[in-house]
Homo-oligomer: A and B are copies of this chain.
Amino acid sequence: MVTALPADLSTPCLVIDQAVLEANLRATASSAADRGFALRPHAKTHKCVEIARRQLDLGAVGLTVATIGEAEVFAAAGCTDLFVGYPVWAVGAKAQRLRSLADLCTLSVGVDSPEGAELVGRALGGTASRCLIEIDSGHHRSGVRPADVVPVAAAAARAGLTVAGVFTFPGHGYEPHRQAAAADDEARALATAADALHDAGFDSAVRSGGSTPTAALTGSTITEIRPGVYVFNDAQQVELGTADWPAVALTAAATVVSRSGNTIIVDAGSKTLGADRAPWATGWGRLLEMPDARIVAISEHHATITIPADEPVPELGAIVRVVPNHVCAAVNLADELVVVRYDDSTDGGGAAIIDRWSVAARGKNG
């Protein structure tokens, strides 16, 4: 099926096309710079020190992370500006760990309640750390309504924290044809909240938004974007129309282990690809070389794939490249990423493993 994978791969494994990754990193860095947005990529997607360094080399102002554990990994690797974009509940060991992080880097932390802000303030008061207040711009997950931002800021200030602005995640843009509306919601919510902060005498310089589906549509009231998935893209982004196939940098290499009629079973299941499947997805991922095939079932170590009638059914032992639905989930299941460089100058295309990168922040959920 796939002619251009290194022969020494042992499946299943996650493979990065280094040239595509580099192109994705450059495209988003340029786009952010051209439009005047600070870029603070979300490192939860790649969890990988090598990619973080490349993002910073290309002009990112710092990294976003989801957890204290992720922050610890990237701070230890020398990243000096980290934003924990999550309403951290800073008690016990977490309070101590936050305090230690503040000694290693310029630290910003999300808060979305007076109670949470007070705890973060107790942990970080007296340091140069800052907080950003999370706003619900329509995704209805965490975050306060834009009109409710001031009491959170006041609690943060009372606890000795510097309020630097607001952030949101327009996650409702992860639906077909919702990107533009979600980007509008994001811009409006952040502007409303920032104005309220400003009117109450707080700093509102940071207005941080962005996600991969909405990043191209980000409104001008926003100062910073935090996309994550753009480094690799995935089947969700392709099916949403926010990435095309040549921009898919990560696939799971998988072997056909069973075959019957037009159905094949490959050895990348939910423990390799993740089990994410949005209601609008066509299956549990896609095949890079055969976009009309459908992954109709998944279990832990099997993906069941139907091949269209007009396509050759891959033979037993063939290696296919599976594009996960949600690349963040797939990466978090792997211990390493196999970095491959393709050489189009050789006949039929050559491919070589040029590196193996540790998923250094894998499983750092707390």
Q: Mark A254-276, 1 if CB is under 8 A from B, else 0.
A: 01111100000101101110111
Chain A stretch 142-157: residues in CB contact (< 8 A) with chain B:
142-143
Chain A stretch 8-41: residues in CB contact (< 8 A) with chain B:
8, 10-13
Shortest distance from the beta carbon of A137 to any chain B beta carbon, whole Å? 14
* Bound form: Cα–Cα A365–B336 in Å: 12
- The one of B116, B141, B334 that contacts A363, using a Cβ cutoff of 8 Å: B334
19 contacts between A and B (CB under 8 A): A10-B93, A10-B94, A10-B366, A12-B365, A44-B300, A44-B301, A86-B257, A86-B301, A88-B257, A89-B257, A112-B258, A141-B258, A143-B258, A267-B365, A271-B332, A271-B363, A274-B275, A275-B276, A301-B365
Shortest distance from the beta carbon of A19 to any chain B beta carbon, whole Å? 25
* Bound form: Cα–Cα A333–B330 in Å: 11
Chain A stretch 320-366: residues in CB contact (< 8 A) with chain B:
326, 328-329, 332-335, 363, 365-366
* Bound form: Cα–Cα A272–B235 in Å: 22
New A-B contacts (18) at CB < 8 Å, excluding given A87-B265, A142-B257, A275-B326: A7-B92, A10-B94, A12-B365, A86-B301, A88-B257, A89-B255, A89-B256, A89-B267, A113-B258, A115-B317, A142-B302, A271-B363, A271-B365, A275-B275, A275-B277, A301-B365, A333-B333, A334-B363
A100 within 8 A of B: no
A91 within 8 A of B: yes
A64 within 8 A of B: no
* Bound form: Cα–Cα A8–B142 in Å: 25
Indicate if the CB atoms of B265 and A270 lie closer than 8 Å: no
Interface-central residue, A7, A10, A332, by most chain B CB under 10 Å: A10
| Set of chain B residues within 8 Å of A237, measured between Cβ atoms | none
| Set of chain B residues within 8 Å of A366, measured between Cβ atoms | 10-13, 267
Shortest distance from the beta carbon of A100 to any chain B beta carbon, whole Å? 14
A299 within 8 A of B: yes
Interface of A: prevailing SS: loop
Chain A stretch 287-317: residues in CB contact (< 8 A) with chain B:
297, 299-302, 304, 316-317
A165 within 8 A of B: no
Indicate if the CB atoms of A329 and B113 lie closer than 8 Å: no
* Bound form: Cα–Cα A271–B86 in Å: 14
Closest 4 CB pairs of A and B: A142-B258, A275-B275, A275-B276, A87-B257
A171 within 8 A of B: yes
Shortest distance from the beta carbon of A156 to any chain B beta carbon, whole Å? 15
| Set of chain B residues within 8 Å of A7, measured between Cβ atoms | 92
